[in-house]
Chain A
Amino acid sequence: MLSKLNKWHILGIGVGVALVLGIVLFFALINPLRNRINDTNSQIASVEQNGGTQEQVAQAKHLLETTQKQAVQAQESWQINQARYMPSLPFHKNDNSNDLIAIYALRGFDRLPQEWGRWLQHWYDSQMNDGITLLTVFQIPAFPTDPNAISNYSKGITLPEQGKSWTVTVMCKSFQAAMEHLKRINTEMLGHGMPVVDNVSLKGQSPALMLTYSLTLYIIPNSPPPPPDTRLQVTSGGNAGGGMGMPYGMGMSMYSGAAMGGMGGPKAGRPMPAAPSGAGGSSAGAAD
């Protein structure tokens, strides 16, 4: 048989075998390897797109350092501003007591509106020498009589009340005095919440220049108030109206025209905080 093959047959068979062998080897060895390489390259591209490069790591590291610095700065700034603007609310005292009634009545949480009103009056009165005369009485609605309501102040307290502001009018001896007064709201109205001034207007002429604006105080508590006490059951019913204040009479202060608020009555079916003794006269409104 072999003896009958001429040289062309031998060459043809050799080329054919080489061709078939090449095809077999390509698909058996080379092609799978190339596919794996392609897969790996696409994985590399995908990984590199998603932060797998030295540059991106360096950027992320820089971002982390910047964020950490900003966090430290924000914390320091907040600590400074908290100390400047935010009061220490009665439920922040470190005696680990969660007794709502104690917080509400004994520590004086219920007296905050009263104290804030006085403080604001004094803050404005102290600027008399700077040419500022207050023509506004600060009214602050009382807090709810339900001690459990204290837990609602976890985010903050807005004075005079949520969604409202005082309309403050001061008489200024000059435009400069009026502007200095506005500057002092940021720099000297401290320790009673962050003041926000809005709708500023000027009317009249010096030395009776009328400066009018709206003022709101935002108190952000440092730590959340205690949770509601389930023993203090709340029943339905609104609060009673405030009682009538006593008319002018004995023992008046020098401040004429002052309108001290009467006291609200208790809610029906609601336990009242212990009534502390003191100088306050009573004028309880009727419970509904």
Chain B
Amino acid sequence: MLRIDLLPPYVHERRARPVFFGFATALVAAVIIAFVAWYISLKGVLSQAQQQLDSANSLQSQYQDYQSKVQQVNSSIADIKSKQDFIASAQKYNDSWWKAYTAVASDTSPTILLHSMEIDPRNHNLVHLTGFCPNEMELARWWIFLRNDTAKFQSVYITLPPHPYPPESANAQNGNQAYGGFGSYGPPKGPYGAGGPMTSSPMSSSPYGMSGPPGMPPGMPYGMPGMPGSPYGGMGGGGNRNNGSATPTEVEGRKGLDFTADLVLQDSLAPPATPPTWPPAGQGGGTGAAGFGGYGMGMPPGMPGFGPGGPMGSQPPSPGGGAGAGGAE
């Protein structure tokens, strides 16, 4: 059976209105509840962040406390530490000298006689040597030995002195004599890359990487310098020794060659660049000029002495006791 609603529509709407009111009210209430819940959750996050901040602040204060203690310790020890650092660096500096010299000396050859050995005062990596060798061959051997010791030396330069042309001794023995220099090991540095000048003759005698072109006609006034670009440098302009006994110098009756050498030490071996010094104390007033020394004539004891004056000798006091600075003992 078909049911027919004969009531007007406003009757139904009136009945449905409370329902829509309820919906609207529920919507507003839901919004309020949601925001309150959000607020509460954010409050929790904030309080957690606050706790974290408090904890971080506490840690930071501990950190700052430790740091200030470190600074206190450092400042309290600064004076002593600077003194101790000076002593340590002075000890190291003093020791570096004999270590460097011993290292260089351990590479000398029994056939090479050294006249002098000096670490350059301005460049502690550079060792200047002068010496004497019986012949060019021994020097070349030593040069190769040195340049192969790359643990000690960055580079090795050996120079033979220039000789007049024609060398008297060579002429006397009917031989041409010429000596150049040994170039560097490694890239050429400074003025040492090239070999020294030579006097004459083709270079053909030395097998050690001579850089001068072979077959130079005899009588050339100057030899070719060592090849500066060669990785091993070169022995600059070694001359042909027609007579091996022709030598410019003698030591204890033995003939040989004088030479100079410059060795560039590895950094680890060289003494530190600057010697340690302790902060100076200001000098008040001038000091007396140097007095002229001389032992006294046995001045009677008890003579009053004035203040200290000039420099003095370091010898023990003479029994006579005369002279000297400042009088009384």
Interface residues of A (CB under 8 A from B): 2-3, 5-7, 10-11, 13-15, 17-19, 21-22, 25-26, 29-30, 33-34, 36-37, 40-41, 43-44, 47-48, 50-54, 56-57, 60-61, 63-64, 67-68, 70-71, 74-75, 77-78, 81-82, 85, 110-111, 113-114, 117-118, 120-122, 137-146, 148-149, 151-158, 160-163, 175, 178-179, 182-183, 185-186, 194-205, 213, 216, 218, 220, 234, 238-253, 255, 258-267, 272-273, 275-285
Q: Across the interface, do B80 and A75 meet the contact criterion of CB distance under 8 Å?
A: yes
Query: Given A202-B116, A251-B319, A278-B301 in contact, is the A262-B35 Cβ separation under 8 Å?
Result: no
Q: Across the interface, do A149 and B80 meet the contact criterion of CB distance under 8 Å?
A: no
**A260→B291 CA distance, assembly (Å):** 8
Q: Across the interface, do A249 and B53 meet the contact criterion of CB distance under 8 Å?
A: no
List the A side residues contacting B288 at CB < 8 Å. 141-142, 145, 239-242, 263-265, 285
Q: Which 4 A-B residue pairings sit nearest by Cβ, starting from the closest?
A: A251-B320, A264-B288, A262-B291, A14-B24
**A241→B325 CA distance, assembly (Å):** 12
Q: Across the interface, do B70 and A64 meet the contact criterion of CB distance under 8 Å?
A: yes
Q: Across the interface, do A244 and B311 meet the contact criterion of CB distance under 8 Å?
A: no
Q: Across the interface, do B21 and A264 meet the contact criterion of CB distance under 8 Å?
A: no
**B83 within 8 Å of A (CB atoms):** yes
Q: Interface majority SS on A: helix, strand, loop or mixed?
A: mixed
**A176→B288 CA distance, assembly (Å):** 41
List the B side residues contacting A199 at CB < 8 Å. 119, 121
List the B side residues contacting A19 at CB < 8 Å. 31
**A280→B13 CA distance, assembly (Å):** 137
List the A side residues contacting B87 at CB < 8 Å. 77-78, 81, 85, 194
Per-residue contact bits, chain B 276-304, to A (CB 8 Å; 1 contact, 0 not): 11111111111111111111111101111
**A161→B305 CA distance, assembly (Å):** 23
Q: Across the interface, do B312 and A44 meet the contact criterion of CB distance under 8 Å?
A: no
Q: Across the interface, do A263 and B28 meet the contact criterion of CB distance under 8 Å?
A: no
Q: Which of A117, A182, A242 contacts B291 (CB 8 A)?
A: A242
